[in-house]
Amino acid sequence: MDLKALIRDVPDFPKPGILFRDLTTLLQDQAGLRYVIDQLADRYQGQKIDYIAGIESRGFIFGAPLAYRLGVGFIPLRKPGKLCSPVYAVEYSLEYGSDRLEMHQDAVQPDRKVLVVDDLIATGGTAAAAAQLIQQSEGELTGFAFIVELMELNGRNLLPDVPITTLVNY
Ligand code: AMP
């Protein structure tokens, strides 16, 4: 399937110089949405994974159906102040700004295997923060899955040495 044909390119959003890869056009395509979830599910079927950790907010959209397909739990990694119980927190820098990611301290038990999911990897700062959260919890980070990778930003260089799955590369 030609996924690039389903992804909308929006120049200068959310600020000048950023070429935003809009996945809402992929999400609303019934065949496209099913295809990307099926691709990821096929890739991870049979692997030992206890949890999918999805990064707010677009990582929720892809991570939750993947967790459902794999028959594993889903953990939300959230923006500041959204979670209600004690959290681990990591500050990180974005392609367009800086932010903070939080995870409930009791979400991952030691040595449980966690796959981190987001829609897109740009500079890698967000995914690296997610990895730090898993490490703080003493869970085992088993890999990353992204729909889109922006290759020229070399975001994967910021990530720990675990397998990375991407479906579309720019
Ligand atoms: P980064 O931390 O730089 O890897 O940024 C990744 C996060 O920012 C992801 O959650 C993306 O949703 C979002 N993002 C960054 N750059 C873009 C872009 N050019 N197009 C769409 N989303 C982006």
Look at residue 27 in the predicted model and tell me its pLDDT: 98
Q: Is residue 158 part of a domain?
A: yes
Q: Is residue 92 part of a domain?
A: yes
Count of domains in the chain?
Answer: 1
* Other beta carbons less than 10 A from residue 73's beta carbon: 15
Tens-digit pLDDT string for the chain (170 aa): 999 999 999 999 998 999 999 999 999 999 999 999 999 999 999 999 999 999 999 999 999 999 999 999 999 999 999 999 999 999 988 766 789 999 999 999 999 999 999 999 999 999 999 999 999 999 999 999 999 999 999 999 999 999 999 999 99
Look at residue 20 in the predicted model and tell me its pLDDT: 97
Ligand 1 mean position to 113 CA, how many Å?
25
Q: Is residue 57 part of a domain?
A: yes
Could you give the residue numbers annotated as active site?
58, 95
Q: Is residue 105 part of a domain?
A: yes
Ligand 1: residue whose CA is nearest its atom 19: 20
Q: Where are the alpha helices (DSSP H) in the chain?
A: 24-27, 30-44, 58-70, 125-136
Whichever domain contains 128, its CATH number is 3.40.50.2020
Ligand 1: residue whose CA is nearest its atom 5: 122
Minimum-distance ligand 1 atom for the alpha carbon of 119? 12
pTM attached to this predicted model: 0.97
Domain ranges, residue 102: 48-169
Rounded Cα distance, 91 and 80, in Å: 10
Ligand 1 mean position to 78 CA, how many Å?
15
Ligand 1 mean position to 6 CA, how many Å?
17
Rounded Cα distance, 29 and 8, in Å: 12
Q: Which residues line ligand 1 (CB under 6 A)?
A: 18-21, 55, 58, 94-95, 118-127, 155
The angle subtended at Cα 41 by Cα 134 and Cα 82, nearest 5°, is 40
Look at residue 98 in the predicted model and tell me its pLDDT: 82
Look at residue 66 in the predicted model and tell me its pLDDT: 98
Q: Is residue 18 part of a domain?
A: no
